[in-house]
Amino acid sequence: MAQAALQPQSKHERGQMAAGRGRGGRDAARRAMLLAVLPLAGCDGVQSALDPGGFEAAAVARLFWVMLGGAVAIWLGVMALALFAQRRRGEPWPERRAGRLVLWGGAVVPTLILAALLAYGLVLMPALREPGGPLRIAVEGEQFWWRVRYQAPGQAPVEAANEIRLPRGQRVELSLSARDVIHSFWIPALAGKMDMIPGRATRLVLEPTELGRFRGACAEFCGASHALMAFTVEVMEPEAFAAWLRAQAAPAPAPAEPPLAEGQRLFLAEGCGACHAVRGTAARGQLGPDLTHLGSRPSLGAGLLDNTREHRMRFIRETDRLKPAARMPAYAGLAEPELAAIADWLGSLR
């Protein structure tokens, strides 16, 4: 269809196309330039490996630029030789001289550059293997969300989901695993990526150096909602982090007013507690995300929607449409006031 539309249909149209070629060429050049520049727009921001906010990511970014430099040097050399060969007139070179060029340009120089790049990469590695401090975080990949367990020294483990908070300037060891299929854990702005493999724990140590919110994502195809499996990472000052973790360890606050109590009652009556835990209530399910402090999380459904009242209602009502193949059934039968009451209560769990 599209191709047929591009074919000139008559002599008249063909003439028009020829006349438009000069302008079309400029347009095409402009478009190509725009396309070439567009990817650069992705180089900064909350999910960019080239805008590092951590020690490991900074090392990876440095390695990238150094390797890019090496690649550009080789490319320029090859292009220069190609141009030289194309422009050159006169007698062919003697065999020995041509052989020397092939030996140096084709073997010695590339080998030296690649060896230097390899050596640089190896030099970077020991610092990335330094062990983490006393805080441990276990992250488990699920279809399609992230179970997060904090283990701080002298404190009971704290379970949360789809959000990871980290203290700035501390090396933290993340123990990664998966319940169902292989996922891959990646916070581009903080560290390299690491696979999460069922039945096996992999390890990633990272040290955030900048405060702020970053974004992580699953980097291994894991099912229908793979692309909807993200999480936020909040880097805080160590004291603020410690206070936050203590607050997370506390059970959910009791409903402060009757409408919130009604929301909690409906949540339990609908059986949500079979899959979700809300510490401090009868909800003790372990299949889905712990919702004890859901109201304090920035997003819903693993980075899918901002955590607003409207979105909480929508997520409960249309889970299957928002997140294909998720294990949670959609509660399409709930009336609007019931949905609102549950959403309000969940929002109050701060």
Question: Is residue 328 within the footprint of ligand CUA (CB under 6 A)?
Answer: no
Binding mask 163-192 for ligand CUA (x = CB under 6 A): --------------------x---------
Give CA–CA dist 265/278, Å, rounded.
Answer: 12
Amino acid at 300: L
| 93 near ligand CUA (CB under 6 A) | no
Nearest CB to ligand CUA, comparing residues 182 and 266: 182
Q: How far is the CB of 132 from ligand CUA (least distance, A)?
A: 24
In the block, which residue shows the tokens 């390797």?
Answer: 67
In the complex, minimum distance from the CB of residue 305 to ligand CUA, in angstroms, rounded to a whole number: 18
The maximal CA–CA distance of the chain, rounded, in angstroms, is 97
Question: Would you say 104 or 221 has its CB closer to ligand CUA?
Answer: 221
For residue 222, state whether it binds ligand CUA (rule: CB under 6 A). Answer: yes
* 327: number of Cβ within 10 Å: 14
Is residue 341 part of the contact set for ligand CUA (CB under 6 A)? no
140 binds ligand CUA (CB under 6 A): no
The smaller minimum CB distance to ligand CUA, of residues 144 and 267, is found at: 144
| Residue 278 binds ligand CUA (CB under 6 A) | no
What gap in Å lies between CA 231 and CA 162, rounded to an integer? Answer: 5
Closer of 145 and 244 to ligand CUA (Cβ): 145
* Secondary structure tally for the chain: helices H, strands E: 11, 12
Closest of 350, 344, 302, 343 to residue 323, by C-alpha: 302
CB of 199 to ligand CUA, least distance (A): 16
Cβ count near 150 (within 10 Å):
22
The residue (of 229 and 236) whose beta carbon lies closer to ligand CUA is 229
Q: Pick from 148, 218, 252, 341: which binds ligand CUA (CB under 6 A)?
A: 218
The per-residue DSSP string of 275-335 comes to: T-B-TTSS-B--SS---TTGGG-SEETTTTEE--HHHHHHHHHSHHHHSTT-SSPP-TTS-
Number of neighbours of residue 107 by Cβ within 10 angstroms? 10
Rounded CA-CA distance 54/2 in Å is 47
Pattern 97-136, ligand CUA, x by CB under 6 A = ----------------------------------------
CA of 102: how far to CAs of 49, 80, 95, 111, 112, in Å?
Answer: 37, 14, 11, 13, 15
Position among 56, 220, 234, 338 found at the interface with ligand CUA (CB under 6 A): 220
Residues of span 283-302 touching ligand CUA by CB under 6 A:
none
Residue 226 binds to ligand CUA (criterion: CB under 6 A): yes
Given the DSSP bridges, would you call strands 172-178 and 136-142 parallel, antiparallel or unpaired?
A: parallel
The two tokens of residue 345 are 């209560």
Does residue 141 interact with ligand CUA by CB under 6 A? Answer: yes
Q: How far is the CB of 226 from ligand CUA (least distance, A)?
A: 4
Least distance from ligand CUA to the Cβ atom of residue 144, Å: 6
Residue 136 and residue 173: Cα distance in Å, rounded? 5
| Distance in Å, CB of 197 to ligand CUA, minimum | 12
Decide: is 194 part of the binding site for ligand CUA (CB under 6 A): no
Task: List interacting residues with ligand CUA (CB under 6 A).
Answer: 141, 144, 183, 218, 220-222, 226, 229
